[in-house]
Structure 1
Amino acid sequence: MMKFMFMMMMMIPLTLLKNYFWVNQLFLFLLSFMYMLYINSDCSILYIYSNFGWDMMSYVLVLLSMWICSLMILASYKINKEKFYSEFFCFTVLMLLMALFFAFSSLSFFIFYLFFEISLIPTLILILGWGYQPERLQAGVYLFFYTLLASLPMLIAIFFLNNIYGSLIFNFFSFPIDSFFLFLCINLVFLVKIPMYFIHLWLPKAHVEAPVSGSMILAGIMLKLGGYGMLRTMKLFSNISGLITYFFVGISILGGVIVSLLCLRQTDIKSLVAYSSVAHMGLVLGGVMTFSYWGFCGSFMMMVAHGLSSSALFCLANIAYERVGSRSLFLNKGMINLMPSMTLWWFLFSACNMAAPPSLNLTGEIMLINSLISWSSLNMLGLAFMSFFSACYSLYLFSCSQHGKFYSGLLNFNLGTFREFLLMMLHWFPLNFLILKGEFISLFI
């Protein structure tokens, strides 16, 4: 508590600044650093108040939410030009952060469901309010109704669980349930949110039409709500793991291979990164469905790594869009001749996207591959194709955007600002140095 009081005292001189946009930026960064010092890894659950508390899994995801939301404000520099829109944008980001904070900190299933749905509203406002094209209306409807309709069965299942266990606290779910229908009711919305192949069509649409802040929060945090919910509820269905694992692991690996092939024919940079998110989160789904310790730990580590690397790639796509006026790979060519320093960041994050060392993606992918092959050696072929095509579309993205003859219609150009390099560094540093503290990932089980 003293740490948060110290944080509020530090905020007093910041409120005297005229630029409220950067005040919010500094506030969120300060909140992130103060939050890092608050957790005690010796206890299993740190209770905050009533039905709210942290374990290591919720702690890491809340910290990731604070970090990504602060980087969203740093990336959305153009919104700062008009005072009303910048204030409303900061208000929307803070409301989204509050919803995510309560969702990840909730110990009750119903409170988690409540804030899970509330987080949709600020995300929808970001897409509708600051999207680029008129199609953002259709993308917002896709996002809203896919999640809303899939979550209605879960609301009914929550009340059914309350009748069985007499409580909705996650730790009170003591004995497993042998109902495949209840499994679908609870996890359908999580499968949509991850997203699983066949019900993933809302994600590329939402990413393409969203502003850079919307793409960052979608890839960085919103997809993790699905994985977090599945990790919390999988112990309820350990008795039927043999029936459902074959189906969902097969879909995740086959869908990952198909989506990786789709990435190789994309011409829009954001669309390519969005489809690569589907492939990576499909691997996360496969790891969760193995019902193994390595699968759970690898899925959680992959979620954190994907949240940072995918968010950074969307930031790089936005930097190119601000210069060229297009996200097409046909126009974004030869950028190494115009922005050689930014090419380094393209290379680093493309390498992280293909799980090259020393990124956290490598550790998560090794653990997931180990768990999936241990479950069935037949997965080896699909995982080999997924790893190979992951390198293919990452190199395709880097080579097509950085090499070749640059667009002759560019009359003036900005080589890059301090804000943009700081934004890249704040993505890259935790992504490549968290691998040194990988033992904390195993503390959430």
Structure 2
Amino acid sequence: MGWLSLAIWMPIVIGAVLLALGRENQAPLVRWIALIGSLVSFLVTLPLYGGFRLGTAEMQFVEKAPWIPRFNVNYHLGVDGLSLWFVLLTAFITVIVVIAGWEVIQRKVNQYMAAFLILSGLMIGVFSALDGVLFYVFFEATLIPMYLIIGIWGGPNKIYAAFKFFLYTLLGSLLTLVAFIYLYTRSGGSFDILVWQAMPIGDTAQTLLFFAMFAAFAVKVPMWPVHTWLPDVHVEAPTGGSAVLAAIMLKLGAYGFLRFSLPILPDASREWAWLMIALSLIAVIYVGLVALVQQDMKKLVAYSSVAHMGFVTLGFFVFNPLGIAGGLVQMIAHGFVSGAMFLCIGVLYDRVHSREIAAYGGVVNTMPRFATFALLFAFANCGMPGTAGFVGEWMVILGTVQANFWLGLLAATALISGAAYTLWMFKRVYLGPVANDHVRELTDINGREFLMLALLAVAVLWMGLFPKPITDVMDASVANLIKQVAVSKLN
């Protein structure tokens, strides 16, 4: 068992152990096992970065063993510059979420913690799988723990939100399964993703396969107009569920475009790039304007996530190194920033039990330490230089300008709307005099909450001030992807 298998199965096994500890009086033990398990699972991912060889686009830490020999299905794992950082990000965010739910979750604690640990292992499996069936199993399996997280620990309309989430994502994925079966037969009986990337595919087949995969990946991102499930789910999900959904699960769809659509279907990707760019710009501009009118903090940040993920798909489909690398950096930055934004909302909700912006005002007077963190994350959400939110968006804008100046100009306008809705929310919630008795009675963050937000603050500043370790890892893989997209695979 290699490092990738440990990163996948360790949190899953620890989650299974937690499920066996079901008594309420065992909750303190459950919390400590979950925290230690998530920390060890994160530490297991660090050798992947430490041993990663720069300057090569080859898969590293490869593991391969027969799984279903009759159909040539293998347990095939590996990471490259496109996937390595998402493995580390997933394990890191899981630690943060366990800390966030330490005191807040009081019922079915073992199931709550187990769901997040199992989800962590499954998502790492998605980023590591090099076999089509293995990828699909991990990709679909992530729905189960997230469905339970929303449906059990969510808000008043949790059942509606959980069903909407499950149906949207499952129905889109069925067409992708059909596409995988076609690629299996076309390749002579192989589910190896690297084999699929090398084989020729005709024009019509590429187009059909492109939209079959689009059905799953676009919903997961989510792209406009199939984004409507996301605000409902965020509003009803518990804080930890919103953080993981925004920080990691949205990245699964964008990663699918990188691993499947672009390298396997380069001609269709170039032919339909105009559509992907148009949908991305609508998400960046229109959905950003929709965020401006939201009165619910979670809905505002949810629409903000759609707009920020629009930058990701925009960067991918301008087909230059700056754009694709910028999209990848934006995915990682959004993981830190959006997770932090939802956790900040959770800190307020735990005290006041309201997500409405109008229920607050003058929070800085009663929670100065917390307001400092919230201001940093708000600046990062705006794309302020020196924070993680700036690097990816700026790279995508530069890459888009290289492809077409006017498209780059349109994308840049999103920085204005992003600053508008984020600072508007911050002003009304945190600044000014104390608005009501609820705010007057607030107590500042405790040590657990400080630790949780401080870890994210360090990540946001580190990535904003020194992104080189991240871009160095992905450079060779991005260059190789550009070559793959440039080569025609028509018969």
Same fold flag (TM > 0.5): yes
1:420 aligns with 2:467: no
Which of 150, 168, 177 is the equivalent residue of 2:191? 168
The CA distance in 2 between the partners of 1:27 and 1:160, in whole Å, is: 40
Deviation digits for residues 61-107 of structure 1, max 9, x if unmatched?
A: 1111111111111111335534xx11111111122112112221110
Could you say which residue in structure 2 is the equivalent of 1:441?
A: 474
Which one-letter code corresponds to 2:473 in the other structure?
F
Could you say which residue in structure 2 is the equivalent of 1:91?
A: 114
Aligned residues of 1:48 and 1:54 also touching (Cα < 8 A): no
Aligned residues of 1:277 and 1:310 also touching (Cα < 8 A): yes
Which one-letter code corresponds to 1:442 in the other structure?
D
1:23 aligns with 2:23: no
Q: How does 1:145-156 map to 2 (within 5 A)?
A: 145-156=167-178
CA RMSD of aligned residues (A): 2.4
Instruction: Give how far 1:128 is off.
Output: 0.5
TM-score by length of 1: 0.92
Could you say which residue in structure 1 is the equivalent of 2:486?
A: none
Aligned residues of 1:253 and 1:382 also touching (Cα < 8 A): yes
* 3-state SS, counterpart of residue 63 of structure 2: strand
Judged with a 3 Å threshold, the aligned counterparts in structure 2 of structure 1 residues 295 and 346 are, in CA distance, closer, same or farther, namely same
The CA distance in 2 between the partners of 1:224 and 1:325, in whole Å, is: 29
The CA distance in 1 between the partners of 2:38 and 2:82, in whole Å, is: 21
Judged with a 3 Å threshold, the aligned counterparts in structure 2 of structure 1 residues 274 and 18 are, in CA distance, closer, same or farther, namely closer
Aligned residues of 1:309 and 1:431 also touching (Cα < 8 A): yes
The CA distance in 2 between the partners of 1:391 and 1:80, in whole Å, is: 33
Unaligned runs of 5+ in 1: none
Which one-letter code corresponds to 2:181 in the other structure?
F
Judged with a 3 Å threshold, the aligned counterparts in structure 2 of structure 1 residues 155 and 3 are, in CA distance, closer, same or farther, namely closer
Which of 35, 49, 63 is the equivalent residue of 1:48? 63
Could you say which residue in structure 2 is the equivalent of 1:316?
A: 344
Instruction: Give how far 1:201 is off.
Output: 0.1
Could you say which residue in structure 2 is the equivalent of 1:122?
A: 145
Judged with a 3 Å threshold, the aligned counterparts in structure 2 of structure 1 residues 176 and 287 are, in CA distance, closer, same or farther, namely farther
Aligned residues of 2:104 and 2:350 also touching (Cα < 8 A): no
Judged with a 3 Å threshold, the aligned counterparts in structure 2 of structure 1 residues 422 and 443 are, in CA distance, closer, same or farther, namely farther
Which of 126, 133, 154 is the equivalent residue of 1:110? 133
Could you say which residue in structure 1 is the equivalent of 2:274?
A: 246
The CA distance in 2 between the partners of 1:441 and 1:360, in whole Å, is: 17
Which of 349, 355, 365 is the equivalent residue of 1:337? 365
Judged with a 3 Å threshold, the aligned counterparts in structure 2 of structure 1 residues 72 and 443 are, in CA distance, closer, same or farther, namely farther
* 3-state SS, counterpart of residue 220 of structure 1: helix
Instruction: Give how far 1:351 is off.
Output: 0.8
Deviation digits for residues 326-360 of structure 1, max 9, x if unmatched?
A: 11111121101110111111110011111112223
Instruction: Give how far 1:2 is off.
Output: 9.8
Q: How does 1:400-415 map to 2 (within 5 A)?
A: 400-410=428-438, 412-415=441-444
The CA distance in 2 between the partners of 1:413 and 1:377, in whole Å, is: 48
Q: Which range moves more in the overlay, 382-391 or 286-295?
A: 286-295
Deviation digits for residues 167-206 of structure 1, max 9, x if unmatched?
A: 2222212145323121100221100110111110000000
Aligned residues of 1:257 and 1:279 also touching (Cα < 8 A): yes
Could you say which residue in structure 1 is the equivalent of 2:95?
A: 70
Instruction: Give how far 1:18 is off.
Output: 5.8
Instruction: Give how far 1:436 is off.
Output: 4.1
Could you say which residue in structure 2 is the equivalent of 1:353?
A: 381
Q: Which range moves more in the overlay, 296-305 or 406-415?
A: 406-415
Unaligned runs of 5+ in 2: 15-20, 66-75, 479-491
Aligned residues of 1:295 and 1:371 also touching (Cα < 8 A): yes
Could you say which residue in structure 1 is the equivalent of 2:231?
A: 204
The CA distance in 1 between the partners of 2:231 and 2:239, in whole Å, is: 14
1:81 aligns with 2:140: no
Instruction: Give how far 1:3 is off.
Output: 8.5
Judged with a 3 Å threshold, the aligned counterparts in structure 2 of structure 1 residues 404 and 174 are, in CA distance, closer, same or farther, namely same
The CA distance in 1 between the partners of 2:434 and 2:192, in whole Å, is: 57
The CA distance in 2 between the partners of 1:385 and 1:102, in whole Å, is: 36
Aligned residues of 2:132 and 2:180 also touching (Cα < 8 A): yes
The CA distance in 2 between the partners of 1:170 and 1:291, in whole Å, is: 21
Which of 133, 143, 155 is the equivalent residue of 1:132? 155
Could you say which residue in structure 2 is the equivalent of 1:37?
A: 47
The CA distance in 1 between the partners of 2:434 and 2:303, in whole Å, is: 26
The CA distance in 1 between the partners of 2:412 and 2:396, in whole Å, is: 13
TM-score by length of 2: 0.84
Q: Which range moves more in the overlay, 247-256 or 146-155?
A: 247-256
Which of 376, 390, 400 is the equivalent residue of 1:372? 400
Instruction: Give how far 1:57 is off.
Output: 2.7
Aligned residues of 1:176 and 1:237 also touching (Cα < 8 A): no
Which one-letter code corresponds to 1:48 in the other structure?
E
Could you say which residue in structure 1 is the equivalent of 2:179?
A: 157
Aligned residues of 1:347 and 1:398 also touching (Cα < 8 A): yes
The CA distance in 2 between the partners of 1:35 and 1:381, in whole Å, is: 39
The CA distance in 2 between the partners of 1:232 and 1:91, in whole Å, is: 29
Instruction: Give how far 1:30 is off.
Output: 2.8
Instruction: Give how far 1:319 is off.
Output: 0.6
- Shift >3 Å, 4+ stretches: 1-4, 15-18, 78-82
Q: How does 1:226-245 map to 2 (within 5 A)?
A: 226-233=253-260, 234-245=262-273
1:264 aligns with 2:292: yes
* 3-state SS, counterpart of residue 256 of structure 2: helix
The CA distance in 2 between the partners of 1:201 and 1:62, in whole Å, is: 27
Q: Which range moves more in the overlay, 391-400 or 278-287?
A: 391-400
Instruction: Give how far 1:384 is off.
Output: 2.7
The CA distance in 2 between the partners of 1:18 and 1:398, in whole Å, is: 35
The CA distance in 1 between the partners of 2:221 and 2:32, in whole Å, is: 32
Count, aligned residues: 437
Aligned residues of 2:401 and 2:409 also touching (Cα < 8 A): no
Instruction: Give how far 1:292 is off.
Output: 2.5
The CA distance in 1 between the partners of 2:121 and 2:106, in whole Å, is: 25
Q: Which range moves more in the overlay, 290-299 or 98-107?
A: 290-299
Judged with a 3 Å threshold, the aligned counterparts in structure 2 of structure 1 residues 3 and 235 are, in CA distance, closer, same or farther, namely closer
Which one-letter code corresponds to 1:335 in the other structure?
V
